[in-house]
Chains A and B, each alone.
Chain A
Amino acid sequence: GQNIDQPTEMTATEGAIVQINCTYQTSGFNGLFWYQQHAGEAPTFLSYNVLDGLEEKGRFSSFLSRSKGYSYLLLKELQMKDSASYLCAVMDSNYQLIWGAGTKLIIKP
């Protein structure tokens, strides 16, 4: 079966750095997405990785290792507004998205 695993909840301190991991087992691979979702709102796109390596976009970076079936989202200089759920999704060989359950990130002052 196809599976995406990410931690259920993480806590970090304002101004710090946090890394949210995502491991996957899918039928084929056509890219990995990260989305941010604030409580009660719709997800918004953060990043897309299809090749191995690190993609940096401001305070947010996303890393992919296809051989390990592993990605992480790195958030630097955490702000209170970063409190949200972070969703990992993998596009399989049929171009269908497989979603993880999301990681709820709690930022403390």
Chain B
Amino acid sequence: DGGITQSPKYLFRKEGQNVTLSCEQNLNHDAMYWYRQDPGQGLRLIYYSQIVNDFQKGDIAEGYSVSREKKESFPLTVTSAQKNPTAFYLCASTRTPEGTGELFFGEGSRLTVL
């Protein structure tokens, strides 16, 4: 079955450490996204990529980095520069490069900073 796989599901980090969240899709989708979800707030876009080797900053890109070396993969690194990284992180994809149409989400990664 096609879908989006995120790992790890739960992650604990000490302050000052970088962590990388994995996102892999086998849907052959062009566009991929990283969102952050905090209680009581709407989803906020961190980064998105419409094509391999290209990506764009979203609304809250500071303290995060991404790469898109393969169509299937869009990992997110949460760096030590991110002031408040504890959150639920969601990776998603859409069929079209423009991002129209429904989003398909991974199961999410919950990051906790100790």
Interface residues of A (CB under 8 A from B): 4, 8, 30-31, 33, 35, 40-45, 48, 87, 89, 91, 95-102
Interface residues of B (CB under 8 A from A): 40-45, 90, 98-108, 110
Take A101-B40, A101-B42 as given contacts and tell me if A42 and B108 are in contact as well, using a CB distance cutoff of 8 Å: yes
Q: Decide if A45 touches B43 in the complex (CB within 8 Å).
A: no
A–B pairs, 19, beta carbons within 8 Å: A8-B40, A30-B100, A31-B100, A33-B102, A35-B103, A41-B108, A42-B105, A42-B106, A42-B107, A45-B103, A48-B102, A87-B42, A87-B43, A91-B100, A96-B45, A97-B99, A97-B103, A101-B41, A102-B42
Q: Decide if B102 touches A95 in the complex (CB within 8 Å).
A: no
Q: What residues of chain A lie closer than 8 Å to B90, measured between beta carbons?
A: 42-43
Q: What residues of chain A lie closer than 8 Å to B41, measured between beta carbons?
A: 101
Q: Decide if A99 touches B108 in the complex (CB within 8 Å).
A: no
User: How many Å lie between the Cα of A92 and that of B72 in the bound state?
Assistant: 27
Take A42-B90, A42-B107 as given contacts and tell me if A95 and B100 are in contact as well, using a CB distance cutoff of 8 Å: yes
Q: Which one, A31, A44, A95, contacts B105 given CB within 8 A?
A: A44
Take A96-B45, A101-B41 as given contacts and tell me if A43 and B100 are in contact as well, using a CB distance cutoff of 8 Å: no
Q: Decide if A99 touches B100 in the complex (CB within 8 Å).
A: no
Q: What residues of chain B lie closer than 8 Å to A31, measured between beta carbons?
A: 100
**A4 nearest CB neighbor, chain B only:** B42
Q: How far is the CB of A74 from chain B (nearest CB, A)?
A: 19
Q: Decide if B42 touches A99 in the complex (CB within 8 Å).
A: yes
Q: What residues of chain B lie closer than 8 Å to A4, measured between beta carbons?
A: 42
Q: Decide if B105 touches A43 in the complex (CB within 8 Å).
A: yes
Q: What residues of chain A lie closer than 8 Å to B42, measured between beta carbons?
A: 4, 87, 89, 98-102
Q: Decide if B43 touches A99 in the complex (CB within 8 Å).
A: yes
Q: How far is the CB of B86 from chain A (nearest CB, A)?
A: 15
